[in-house]
């Protein structure tokens, strides 16, 4: 089933912007995943490698490809990688990461910031 | 290019902390709507620390990232609070007014006046009138509302429903002392005395039925627990027994260990859990008692996180007695460990409590 979907993915006109690079990253993933599934440390290293070598926009495309191919393990892995990458980051950082623009009205956005009006502080000494 | 909502959902479901959740909810309309639609996932609670006199800022400690957060909460100044996993807390002030407060949205729901409760416990100070409030459902999600109160010198039970003008007292011919209430498979249960399990029927308006269905474990097994809690997972009902020792010179109590019992519904008897808690951790203390499945979130499993809900020595206003018996019991190693929440100074009406922040 996976092979059929892959072929459809490349035949589909709308996916013309899929580069070879992405195809070569996503498709070998099952083998790599199977080989190192049991080894958390290697997965962590692969995740670091991915974050270093792959631009956020490419990572987004990887996620979309994994989603389209219904490739659950890859989707899980890439989404976890992204969740780790945006941990403790600001709203602007997350927007830039995904190449998104805010579609809120200016007043609306300010209201949202105030909605959860809280701030971070370091832990005091005992 | 915008990600489709189902993909955004996959990412949001894997975020670590509530703070991350709030941050991504501000990215765009799609992201915000996804966040609002999945606010029911299991999540680690915050520790809401004791009130500080000089300020309306309330401090919180997050178990997710070991950071402290602060929130402007003038609504709770001077009041005693009880926590819940629903994003709401229960407050009771010196004026004997009780409210539900949504922590993040700062929306309040007034609960009925405490007159019926006060007539049965006339000599109690306002801050020790009610030992525990249990919020049985989420007012943001459910149109019905059910709050249980355990009050007075003999731990009687009262409940309030939306649309009911006053607290209904549960008649209790066997004079059972209630410790906790939980809902499992749509049935309400109470944990009484030293572990008696009762079924509660609260359907008839302003009337209630209490039926003992399982006896307490023998005294050899459980001796005299300090506190008892009732928690449910999707599969089972558990009785949590808390033990420690008194330090009379300091008028406080220190927890040293817990015993966990699981109900065998076939035998209608409690059985001790001697191995691990299967993939969950427990939160007990001032307010609801609950479990969190740890397979899907970043949380230590097999632990009992507790706050100080022993108000035995706090008879009078003024000096705070107790409030510092807060920590986590590691079931595997059977030791109590401290939590790195930093400075906290309990007041005679204010102590740390667990509360799970939610957006709605």
Determine whether the interchain pair B17/A87 forms a contact, defined as Cβ–Cβ distance below 8 Å.
Answer: yes
Distance CA B77, CA B96 (A): 14
Read off the pLDDT of each residue in B135-159 and give the average, rounded to a whole number: 91
pLDDT at A19 over 70: no
Determine whether the interchain pair B20/A87 forms a contact, defined as Cβ–Cβ distance below 8 Å.
Answer: yes
Chain B: nearest CA to A17, how far in angstroms? 12
Shared domain for A62 and A99, answered yes or no, is no
Chain A: nearest CA to B54, how far in angstroms? 17
- Sign of the dihedral through C-alpha A96, A97, A102, A108: negative
Long-range contacts, B258-266 (Cβ 8 Å, 24+): B258/B304, B258/B306, B258/B329, B258/B331, B259/B221, B259/B222, B259/B225, B260/B304, B260/B331, B261/B195, B261/B217, B261/B222, B262/B236, B262/B237, B262/B238, B263/B197, B263/B214, B263/B236, B263/B237, B263/B238, B263/B239, B265/B237
Residue A121 in contact with partner chain B when CB distance is under 8 A: yes
Tell me which of A116-125, B235-244, B328-337 is least confident: A116-125
Shared domain for A54 and A2, answered yes or no, is yes
- Write the ipTM: 0.71
Tell me which of A32-36, A69-73, A111-115, B339-343 is least confident: A32-36
Structure token digits, residue B347: 């007041």
Chain A: nearest CA to B319, how far in angstroms? 20
pLDDT at A28 over 60: no
Shared domain for A83 and A108, answered yes or no, is no
Determine whether the interchain pair A113/B26 forms a contact, defined as Cβ–Cβ distance below 8 Å.
Answer: yes
Shared domain for A71 and A105, answered yes or no, is no
Mean pLDDT of chain B: 91
pLDDT in tens, B51-108: 998 898 999 999 888 888 888 899 999 999 999 999 999 999 999 999 999 998 889 9
pLDDT in tens, A93-112: 888 888 888 888 888 877 77
- Choose, out of A18, A90, A98, A104, the residue to mutate when testing the contact with B (most B CBs < 10 Å): A98
The pLDDT, as a whole number, for residue A2 is 42
Q: Which of residues 116-145 of B touch A (CB under 8 A)?
A: none
Shared domain for A41 and A4, answered yes or no, is yes
Q: What percentage of residues in chain B have a pLDDT greater than 90?
A: 62
pLDDT at B47 over 60: yes
Determine whether the interchain pair A100/B27 forms a contact, defined as Cβ–Cβ distance below 8 Å.
Answer: yes
Residue A14 in contact with partner chain B when CB distance is under 8 A: no
Determine whether the interchain pair A102/B71 forms a contact, defined as Cβ–Cβ distance below 8 Å.
Answer: no
DSSP B247-289: EGGGTEEEEEEEEEEEEETTTTEEEE--S--TTEEEEESSB--
Q: What percentage of residues in chain B have a pLDDT greater than 70?
A: 98
Read off the pLDDT of each residue in A81-87 and give the average, rounded to a whole number: 86
Q: Are A116 and B104 in contact (CB under 8 A)?
A: yes
The pLDDT, as a whole number, for residue B3 is 85
Q: A123 contacts in B (CB within 8 Å)?
A: 61, 66-68, 340-342
Residue B70 in contact with partner chain A when CB distance is under 8 A: yes
Shared domain for A82 and A93, answered yes or no, is no
pLDDT at B215 over 70: yes
- Choose, out of A116, A117, A121, A122, the residue to mutate when testing the contact with B (most B CBs < 10 Å): A116
Residue A67 in contact with partner chain B when CB distance is under 8 A: yes
Read off the pLDDT of each residue in B13-24 and give the average, rounded to a whole number: 83
Q: Is B105 left (phi over 0), alpha (psi -120 to 50) or beta?
A: alpha
Shared domain for A37 and A9, answered yes or no, is yes
Shared domain for A13 and A61, answered yes or no, is yes
Question: Where residue A117 falls among pLDDT bands split at 50, 70, 90?
Answer: low
Determine whether the interchain pair A121/B104 forms a contact, defined as Cβ–Cβ distance below 8 Å.
Answer: no
Q: Which domain holds residue A114?
A: 88-126
CB nearest B22 (choices: A101, A109, A116): A116
Structural domain count of chain A: 2
Which chain B residue has its CA at the smallest distance from A92's CA? B27
The pLDDT, as a whole number, for residue B261 is 97
pLDDT at A3 over 80: no
Shared domain for A79 and A93, answered yes or no, is no
Shared domain for A8 and A67, answered yes or no, is yes
Determine whether the interchain pair B343/A64 forms a contact, defined as Cβ–Cβ distance below 8 Å.
Answer: no
CB nearest B14 (choices: A83, A102, A103): A83
* Greater pLDDT, A15 or B348: B348
Question: Where residue A9 falls among pLDDT bands split at 50, 70, 90?
Answer: very low
Residue B171 in contact with partner chain A when CB distance is under 8 A: no
Residue A86 in contact with partner chain B when CB distance is under 8 A: yes
pLDDT in tens, B280-323: 999 999 999 999 988 777 778 899 999 999 998 898 999 999 99
pLDDT in tens, B5-18: 989 998 988 887 88
Q: A116 contacts in B (CB within 8 Å)?
A: 22, 104
Structure token digits, residue B68: 């402290």
Tell me which of A6-15, B67-76, B115-124, B193-202 is least confident: A6-15
Q: B343 contacts in A (CB within 8 Å)?
A: 124-126
pTM of the model: 0.84
Q: A99 contacts in B (CB within 8 Å)?
A: 1
Q: Which of residues 30-49 of B touch A (CB under 8 A)?
A: 32
The pLDDT, as a whole number, for residue B301 is 87
Residue A11 in contact with partner chain B when CB distance is under 8 A: no
Residue A92 in contact with partner chain B when CB distance is under 8 A: no
Shared domain for A83 and A93, answered yes or no, is no
Q: In this structure, what CATH number is given to the domain that contains residue A40?
A: 3.30.710.10
Question: Where residue A14 falls among pLDDT bands split at 50, 70, 90?
Answer: very low
Tell me which of A1-5, A116-120, B342-346 is least confident: A1-5
* Greater pLDDT, B258 or B20: B258
Instruction: Tell me the C-alpha to C-alpha distance, in Å, between residue B187 and each of B156, B157, B182, B198, B202.
Output: 19, 16, 8, 10, 10
Q: A113 contacts in B (CB within 8 Å)?
A: 26
Shared domain for A49 and A33, answered yes or no, is yes
Question: Where residue A40 falls among pLDDT bands split at 50, 70, 90?
Answer: low
Residue B75 in contact with partner chain A when CB distance is under 8 A: no
């Amino acid at each position: 089933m996976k092979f059929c979907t892959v072929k459809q993915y490349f035949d589909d006109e709308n996916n013309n912007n899929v580069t070879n690079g992405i195809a070569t990253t996503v498709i070998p993933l099952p083998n790599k995943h199977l080989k190192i599934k049991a080894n958390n440390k290697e997965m962590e290293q692969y995740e670091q490698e991915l974050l270093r070598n792959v631009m956020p926009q490419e990572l987004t495309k990887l996620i979309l490809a994994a989603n389209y191919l219904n490739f659950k393990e890859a989707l899980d892995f890439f989404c976890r990688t992204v969740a780790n990458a945006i941990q403790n980051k600001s709203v602007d950082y997350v927007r830039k990461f995904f190449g998104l623009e805010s579609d809120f009205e200016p007043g609306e956005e300010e209201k949202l910031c105030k909605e959860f009006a809280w701030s971070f502080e370091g832990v005091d000494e005992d | 290019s915008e990600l489709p909502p189902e993909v955004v959902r996959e990412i949001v479901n894997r975020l670590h902390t509530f703070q991350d959740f709030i941050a991504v909810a501000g990215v765009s309309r799609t992201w915000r709507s996804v966040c609002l639609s999945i606010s029911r996932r299991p999540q680690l609670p915050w520790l809401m620390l004791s009130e500080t006199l000089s300020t309306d800022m309330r401090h919180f400690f997050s178990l997710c990232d070991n950071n402290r957060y602060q929130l402007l909460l003038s609504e709770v100044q001077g009041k005693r609070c009880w926590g819940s996993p629903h994003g709401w807390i229960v407050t009771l002030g010196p004026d004997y007014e009780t409210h539900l407060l949504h922590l993040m949205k700062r929306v309040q729901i007034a609960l009925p006046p405490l007159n019926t409760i006060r007539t049965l416990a006339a000599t109690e100070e306002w801050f020790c009138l009610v030992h525990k409030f249990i919020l049985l459902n989420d007012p943001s999600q459910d149109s019905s509302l059910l709050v249980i109160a355990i009050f007075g010198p003999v731990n009687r039970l009262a409940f309030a429903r939306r649309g009911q003008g006053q607290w209904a007292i549960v008649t209790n011919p066997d004079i059972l002392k209630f410790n906790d209430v939980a809902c499992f498979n749509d049935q309400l249960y109470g944990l009484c005395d030293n572990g008696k399990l009762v079924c509660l029927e609260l359907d008839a308006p302003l009337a209630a039925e209490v039926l003992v269905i399982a006896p307490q474990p023998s005294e050899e097994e459980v001796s005299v627990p300090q506190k008892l809690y009732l928690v449910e997972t999707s599969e089972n009902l558990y009785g949590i027994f808390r033990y420690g020792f008194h330090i009379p010179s300091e008028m406080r109590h220190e927890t040293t260990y817990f015993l966990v019992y699981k109900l065998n519904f076939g035998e209608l008897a409690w059985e001790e859990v001697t191995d691990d808690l299967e993939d969950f951790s427990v939160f007990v203390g001032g307010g609801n008692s609950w479990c969190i499945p740890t397979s899907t979130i970043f949380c230590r499993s097999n632990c009992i996180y507790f706050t100080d809900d022993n108000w035995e020595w706090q008879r009078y206003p003024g000096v705070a007695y107790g409030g510092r018996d807060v920590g986590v019991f590691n079931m595997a190693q059977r030791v109590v460990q401290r939590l790195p929440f930093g400075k906290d100074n309990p007041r005679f009406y204010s102590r740390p409590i667990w509360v799970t922040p939610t957006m709605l």
